[in-house]
Structure 1
Amino acid sequence: MVKIYLEICGDINLKQAFVSSLPKLLASRTMTIIEEKFQSITIPQIGYIRQAIFVALDDIYQWVPHFKDFNTASNAVLTTTVITKHPVTIEFFPGLKYRTKLLGSDVPGKDLIIGFDIYRQLRDQLQIKANGIAFKKQFRPYSEIPRLFQITDDEQIKEIEQNLIEHSCAESHKDFMKEGKHPLWKN
């Protein structure tokens, strides 16, 4: 895939966002949107460039409303809300591509979810293993997504705080500096 590299004014020491590369089709559409807005010498801000990239993505893939429910392995329900008008090519490995329409969902932390219908169609080429997926001599391990749960009940928060104070914290600074029964002394 040909990529165009865009230089954006930013400073890595200030932890500003950078756009390093974009696919050619997306980069050209993004640059058109930026040029339409900034016709002078003004340098566009990172937030505007990010917004322009999302607008360009919408233009390229043309998402349309589409609602469908799927059952997951954990007996939960995954609801999709949009679908692409045109098929998109997914490259699982170099030399293994699959063309399909994409369904969009607001599931956090998931870039792409592949269903078993696609696995079945590619079963002669893909090998599903316990620790990842293989294609010929290439291998991609599964990535683990941390599961974070939000605590909304004040009682739960107070109980956790109290438990930490009782079992993990030292009584004084002098006790804190000693290795002992308080596990937070190493921090």
Structure 2
Amino acid sequence: KKKKQYFHAANGEVFSADLVRKPIMLQFFPGCSIIHRVLGSKLPRKDLTIGFDIFTKKKGLRILPGGLAYKQYFSA
């Protein structure tokens, strides 16, 4: 039997996550991607909150007052 953890989303919906860590690739800019392991869940195409631990994994990725920057790329 798989173990499940139940969470409440910001909009009040309840969803479950299997307690299995899955690697996902987060791509911020071309050539700037990070592989991170997350709890598995059935939430395709949903928003993801990213902490400072993720941003500090990629050398050259900068958090600026106006947005993110990586080499010649900028996102506001």
TM-score by length of 2: 0.61
For residue 89 of structure 1, the aligned residue among 25, 36, 41 is: 25
- Whose helix fraction is larger, Structure 1's or Structure 2's? 1
Runs of at least 4 residues off by over 4 Å:
none
Counterparts of 1:95 and 1:84, CA distance in 2: 28
> Is 1:99 matched with 2:38?
no
Q: Which has the higher contact order (CA 8 A, sep 6+)?
A: 2
For residue 138 of structure 1, the aligned residue among 65, 69, 73 is: 73
> Is 1:119 matched with 2:55?
yes
Structure 1 unmatched runs, 5+: 1-63, 69-80, 142-187
Structure 2 unmatched runs, 5+: 8-15
Measure how far apart 1:103 and its partner are.
4.2
Instruction: Go from structure 1 to structure 2 and tell me whether the alpha carbon gap of 1:84 and 1:101 turns closer, same or farther (over 3 Å shift).
Output: farther
Aligned residues: 62
1:20-59 mapped onto 2 (5 Å cutoff): none
**Bigger Rg, structure 1 or 2:** 1
Matched position secondary structure for 1:117? helix
Matched position secondary structure for 1:88? strand
- Whose strand fraction is larger, Structure 1's or Structure 2's? 2
